[in-house]
């Protein structure tokens, strides 16, 4: 049985940072994100009874050992649910750079969850699919859905999953300009970051402040209020980075170009261009704005030498591109 699925990365406005149960990726806090339109992964899963082990290709090459081990672990969870034993051939590719702060694992595991569940004959509803994707990478549970998505932290495998706050047509003029300042691999993986987060003296304070941040973010999305959204998403992103900088194994994800882009956006905002910055666990800056302002910012960024830009709008959730014929 063969199935192919596509899913997009997402950018979190309120971020997942820290786990209450690392084995199940149960997060310490709820989070809210936007599913992107252009940064996608396409994954094909072909169940093949003649294989002794799962084989994983990234593009046309075999994936490295760490990725293969992670995919095998995930497929093991799918097989357990489907009560199947045959191994599979997985082929995945992304249309954007991986491992540098654009949620490649979110896109990849959301696409894998959908393709693998269908290839193994499981018909999951959105909530079950979101829970499954979470086992591969926490933030992948949000990429199962399109538009504006909240991952409700929950307390168990079944209750920790994403729900849609509004679909991708709700705020069509919203834009995320991803400014790629570096494609170097991350200095510290997000799994390490989640594990280290509680060692920061700022961690408990962040968890305490997030309740109000989540509420304001929901309201800003419902009313399509960019200023309200920006006023919470920017400090929230800096809060995550402050935690990363103050753990027992501190990491500074930013490069001089990260700081340069941030300063320029602050300056342009003072000039009246409404745009706000957020960053995942990496050096690349996501500028959240609306289409009209994005059209002004893109040439300015290019004029300063930032030529690697991806402009995203709200995008749809994970989609099947092909699936096995009905039995
Ligand atoms: O899903 P993970 O384990 O790759 O963690 C994602 C962490 C951030 O991207 C920094 C924040 C988020 O909520 O997407």
Contact of 290 with 253, CB cutoff 8 Å: no
Centroid of ligand 1 to alpha carbon of 106 (angstroms) = 8
Range list of H helices, the chain: 65-82, 104-119, 126-136, 140-143, 190-196, 203-222, 226-244, 256-270, 291-303
Which residue's CA lies nearest to atom 9 of ligand 1? Answer: 280
Per-residue pLDDT reduced to its tens digit, 223-265? 999 999 999 999 999 999 999 999 999 999 999 999 999 999 9
pLDDT band at 101 (very low <50, low <70, confident <90, very high): low
Q: Quote the CA–CA distance of 67 and 95 in Å, as a whole number.
A: 18
Pocket of ligand 1 (CB under 6 A): 12, 15-16, 31, 103, 105-106, 137-139, 190-191, 280-281
**The tokens of 40 are what?**
């996608």
Q: Could you tell me the domains of the chain?
A: 2-169 (3.30.230.10), 174-312 (3.30.70.890)
User: What one-character DSSP code corresponds to residue 221?
Assistant: H
* Secondary structure (DSSP) of 24-78: GTEESS-EEEEEEEEEEEEEEEEEETT-SS-EEEETTEEPPHHHHHHHHHHHHHH
How remote is the CA of residue 190 from the centroid of ligand 1, in Å? 6
Helix axes 226-244, 203-222, angle to 10 degrees: 160
Which residue's CA is minimally distant from atom 6 of ligand 1?
139
More confident position, 95 or 266: 266
Closest ligand 1 atom to the C-alpha of 189?
A: 4
SS3 308: coil
What digits encode the pLDDT tens for the residues 211-231? 999 999 999 999 999 999 999
């Amino acid at each position: 049985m063969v199935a192919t699925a596509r899913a997009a990365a997402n950018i979190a406005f309120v971020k997942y940072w820290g786990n209450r149960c690392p084995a199940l990726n149960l997060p310490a806090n709820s989070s809210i994100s936007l599913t992107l339109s252009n940064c996608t992964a396409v994954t094909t899963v072909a169940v093949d009874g003649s294989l002794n082990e799962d084989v994983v290709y990234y593009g046309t090459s075999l994936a490295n050992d760490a990725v293969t081990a992670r995919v095998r672990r995930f497929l093991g969870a799918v097989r357990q649910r489907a009560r199947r034993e045959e191994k599979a051939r997985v082929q995945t590719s992304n249309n954007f750079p991986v491992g540098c702060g654009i949620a490649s694992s979110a896109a990849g595991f959301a696409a894998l969850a959908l393709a693998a569940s269908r290839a193994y004959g499981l018909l999951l509803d959105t909530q079950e699919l979101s829970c499954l994707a979470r086992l591969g990478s926490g933030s992948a549970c949000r990429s199962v859905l399109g538009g504006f998505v909240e991952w409700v932290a929950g307390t168990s495998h079944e209750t920790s999953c994403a729900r849609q706050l509004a679909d991708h047509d709700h705020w069509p003029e919203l834009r995320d300009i991803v400014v790629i300042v570096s494609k170097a691999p991350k200095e510290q993986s997000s799994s390490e970051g989640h594990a280290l987060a509680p060692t920061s003296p700022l961690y408990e304070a962040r968890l305490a402040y997030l309740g109000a941040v989540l509420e304001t973010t929901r309201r800003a999305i419902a009313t399509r209020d960019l200023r309200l959204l920006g006023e919470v998403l920017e400090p929230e992103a800096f809060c995550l980075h402050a935690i990363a900088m103050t753990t027992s194994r501190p990491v500074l994800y930013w490069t001089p170009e990260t700081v340069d882009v941030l300063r320029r956006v602050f300056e342009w905002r003072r000039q009246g261009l409404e745009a706000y910055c957020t960053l995942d666990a990496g050096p690349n800056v996501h500028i959240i704005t609306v289409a009209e302002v994005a059209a002004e910012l893109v040439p300015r960024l290019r004029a300063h030498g930032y030529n690697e830009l991806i402009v995203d709008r709200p995008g749809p959730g994970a989609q099947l591109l092909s699936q096995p014929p009905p039995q």
